[in-house]
């Protein structure tokens, strides 16, 4: 048996009578990395938006770790560990790197944000991609090159 952490089967989506996704199947095993490639209008963003709950599918099923899930709102996607970073460069300039990375996914200790835990996690993410910058730096103070 294949152990998929994500399976999308028979996904269909139409906008105003135009079918943009037609029986799309997508599977992902733990440790795999996939790239969605295609021309503009091919449906890549639509598929990701369905997975994240920004759009609802017209037909098909989504399973995470073998369990059927209903992802019809962004909060459903987040609850299932799905988070999307869109290609648009939308950062909050007067927040820190840490706060931008964890915006909407804050680590909490009771009712309060656990700043030290957030800083450690942001530092780990930055280390993974070879970014050697203080995670408390404001995005506004970064240079873009």
pLDDT tens string 72-106: 999 999 899 888 877 666 789 999 999 999 988 89
Cα maximum dimension of the chain: 50
**pLDDT grade, residue 145 (50/70/90)?**
low
Domains and CATH numbers, the chain: 4-79 (3.40.50.300), 97-141 (no CATH)
**pLDDT grade, residue 54 (50/70/90)?**
very high
pLDDT of residue 88: 66
* Cα–Cα–Cα angle for 111, 123, 84, rounded to 5 degrees: 70
Which distant-in-sequence residues (6+ apart) come within 8 Å of 55 by Cβ?
Answer: 13, 46, 49
pLDDT of residue 103: 87
Per the CB < 8 A criterion, the answer to whether 84 and 130 are in contact is no
For 16-53, write each residue's pLDDT tens digit. 999 999 999 999 999 898 888 999 889 999 999 999 99
Three-state SS across the chain?
A: CCCEEEEEEEEEEEECCEEEEEEEEEEEECCCCCCCCCCCCCCHHHHHHHHHCCCCCCEEEEEECCEEECCCCHHHHHHCCCCCCCCCCCCCCCCEHHHHHCCCCCCEECCEECHHHHHHHHHHHHHHCCCCCCCCCEHHHCCCC
């Amino acid at each position: 048996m294949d152990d998929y952490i994500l399976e999308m089967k028979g996904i269909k989506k139409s906008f105003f009578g135009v079918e943009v996704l037609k029986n799309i199947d997508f599977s992902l095993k733990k440790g795999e990395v996939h790239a969605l490639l295609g021309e503009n209008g091919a449906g890549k963003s639509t598929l990701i938006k369905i997975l994240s709950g920004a759009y609802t599918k017209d037909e098909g099923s989504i399973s995470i770790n073998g369990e059927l899930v209903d992802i019809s709102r962004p909060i459903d996607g987040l609850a299932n560990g799905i988070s999307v970073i869109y290609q648009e460069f939308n950062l909050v300039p007067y927040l820190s790197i840490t706060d931008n990375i964890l915006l909407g996914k804050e680590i909490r200790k009771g009712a309060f944000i656990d700043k030290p835990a957030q800083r450690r996690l942001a530092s780990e993410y930055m280390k993974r991609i070879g970014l050697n910058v203080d995670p408390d730096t404001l995005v506004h103070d970064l240079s873009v090159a």
